[in-house]
Amino acid sequence: MTTTHTITVPGARITYDVRGDGPVLVLAGFPMTAGPFAALAQTLADHHTVVTFDPRGMGRSPADDPGQGSTPERRADDVAAVLDAIGADDADFLGSSGGGITGLALAARRPERVRVLVAHEPPLFELLPDVAERRAAVERVVATHRSEGVRAALARFMTDVVGHDPAMGENAARHSSEQDLADFARLFALELRSTTGHVPDLAALAGGRVVVGVGAASARLVTSRTSLALAARLGLEPVEFPGGHGGFRTHPEQFAEVLRRTLAAHP
C-alpha cells in the first residue's frame, strides 16, 4: 500500500509517498519527481519503508513563489523535513542525477541523517577537467529556453548537457508530458546552473558512508564521467548499476538487487 502526504516547509509544500515496512530508504531524483521511481520503490518495499517525493517546485510540490529557484542545500533541508515528518532519525538514501547532488548536500550538511548514501550519476560538472565546456553547454540550454522555448531547450539539454544522441533528445522533446515540460522549464530557468555547478564538500564526505553508482550503459554520458571523477576524489571504487542514466526506471528489479547488495555491504 502506498500512502501520500504533504508537509509545509519554508517556501513550499512537499508531497511525498510512503510504501512498505522496515528501515527507511529515500529514493530521490532531480528534476525527476516520485513517479519514475514507482516501480523501483514497489520492488524494494518488501524489506524497506520506501519514501519518494516530488522536489520543491516540481510536480505535486508547489513553491510559494514560482519564480524563486532552489539549491541542492535547500532541497537537502526538505529531505530532512520529510524524515522528521515520518519520525525517522536517519535513512539510507539513493539519489539519481540531480537527486544524487541532493544526497551529497544532505550527507555533508546533516551526516547524522544519512546511514548510507548511494549517489547515482550526479552531474557534478565542476569536478571535470573540461568544466568550462560543460558550463558553456548549460548556458546554451538556458539561452535556448529563453529564445525558443522548453521543447527546443530539452532537446539541447539531452544532447549537449547529458550526452545522449540527437534522436533521443528530439524524442524526449516530442513526447514529454505537459507536467514534465513544466518541470524542465523551471529547471532551465531557475535551477540548472546551481545544480550542475554544485561543488560537493569532499572533506565532509570523506570517510562517510558514501557509494558512487554509475550505469552499465552510461559510458558515453557526461554523468558517467562526473561519477568517476567523484569516486576518484573520494578514493572509492564505483558500483555499476544496470542500465544507463535512468536505469532505476528501465531495469527496476535488477537495479533493486544491486542496491540491496550495496546497502547490505554497509551494515
Report which of 176, 162, 163, 182 is spatially closest to residue 54, judged by C-alpha positions: 182
For residue 220, how many other CB atoms are within 10 A of its CB? 11
Rounded to whole angstroms, the Cα distance separating 191 from 197 reads 10
Q: What is the average pLDDT score of the chain? A: 97
> pLDDT tens digits, residue range 212-253?
999 999 999 999 999 999 999 999 999 999 999 999 999 999
Statement: residue 106 has pLDDT above 90: yes
Q: How far is Cα 160 from Cα 179, in angstroms, rounded to an integer? A: 23
Query: Please, which pLDDT band fits residue 183 given cuts at 50, 70 and 90?
Result: very high
Query: Looking at the predicted structure, is the pLDDT value of residue 33 above 90?
Result: yes
Q: What is the pLDDT of residue 184?
A: 97
What pLDDT was estimated at residue 169?
A: 86
Confidence of residue 143 (pLDDT cuts 50, 70, 90): very high
- Strands, sheet with 210-215, edge to edge from the N-terminal-most edge strand: 2-9, 12-20, 49-53, 24-28, 91-96, 114-120, 210-215, 239-241
CB neighbourhood size of 142 (10 A)? 19
Res 207: pLDDT: 81
**What's the pLDDT at 20?**
97
Mean pLDDT of 50-64: 98
Q: pTM of this prediction?
A: 0.96
Query: Average pLDDT, stretch 169-183?
Result: 92
User: Residue ranges per domain, the chain?
Assistant: 2-124+198-264, 131-193
Flag whether pLDDT at 153 surpasses 80.
Answer: yes
pLDDT at 99 over 80: yes
CATH topology (fold) of 2-124+198-264:
Rossmann fold (3.40.50)
- Residue 133 scores a pLDDT above 80: yes
DSSP string, the chain: -EEEEEEEETTEEEEEEEEESSSEEEEE-SS--SGGGHHHHHHHTTTSEEEEEPPTTSTT--BSSTT----HHHHHHHHHHHHHHHT-S-EEEEEETHHHHHHHHHHHH-GGGEEEEEEES---GGGSTTHHHHHHHHHHHHHHHHHH-HHHHHHHIIIIII---HHHHHHHHHH--HHHHHHHHHIIIIIHHHHHT----HHHHTTSSEEEEEETT-TTSHHHHHHHHHHHHHT-PPEEESSSTTHHHHSHHHHHHHHHHHHHT--
Q: Is the pLDDT of residue 267 over 80?
A: no
How many other CB atoms sit within 10 Å of the CB of residue 64? 13
Give the cell for residue 65.
513563489
Grid cell 521511481 in the structure block, residue: 37
